[in-house]
């Protein structure tokens, strides 16, 4: 059984702003995110599992994470085809 909400989103993390507090990683219901210790920030390792609940975006204390619907840019335009995750 696949959740129809899954895989509809693209997650962008601003690595310079993220402080790796782990809040998004700990509370993500779909376990999408993980801390990249070497880079010192969170990474969306299982982006296809995202159910677009918005927890991470509402709770990020550093305003460093954006969840966008696939096929749209943050400014509302259409996504260029050569997107590459983070």
Partner 1 sequence: MAEVTQLIHEYLRHDKKFPHVLCPGCGHGILLGSLIRSVHALGIPKDDVALVAGIGCSGRVAVYVDFNTVHAVHGRALTVATGIKMAKPDMHVIVVQGDGDALSIGGNHFIHAARRNIGLTVLVLNNFIYGMTGGQCSSATPLGCWSTTTPYGQMEKSFDFVEMTRAAGANFVSRGTVFHVKTLDKLVRQALVHPGFSLVEVLTPCHTQFGRKNKFKSPVDMYQWLKKAAMPLEAYEKLDPDKRAGRIPIGVFVDNHEPALETRYAAMRAKLAKG
Which spans of this chain sit near partner 1 (rule: CB under 8 A)? 16-23, 26-27, 52-54, 57-69, 72, 74
- Are the beta carbons of 32 and 47 closer than 8 angstroms? yes
Select 45 or 66, whichever has its Cβ closest to partner 1.
66
d(CA 74, CA 76): 6
| DSSP annotation of 62 | T
Q: By C-beta, is 46 or 57 nearer to partner 1?
A: 57
CA distance 67 to 50: 9
CB of 30 to partner 1, least distance (A): 14
Nearer to partner 1 (CB atom), residue 1 or residue 58 = 58
- Find the shortest distance in angstroms from Cβ 66 to partner 1: 5
Contact 68, 78 (CB under 8 A): no
Provide, rounded to whole angstroms, the least separation between the CB of residue 2 and partner 1. 21
């Amino acid at each position: 059984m696949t959740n129809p909400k899954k895989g509809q989103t693209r997650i962008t993390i601003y690595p310079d702003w993220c402080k790796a507090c782990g809040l998004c990683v700990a509370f993500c219901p779909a376990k999408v995110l993980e801390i990249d210790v070497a880079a010192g920030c969170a990474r969306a390792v299982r982006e296809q599992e995202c159910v677009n609940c918005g927890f991470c975006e509402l709770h990020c204390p550093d305003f460093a994470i954006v969840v966008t619907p696939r096929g749209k840019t943050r400014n509302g335009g259409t996504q260029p085809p050569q997107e590459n995750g983070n």
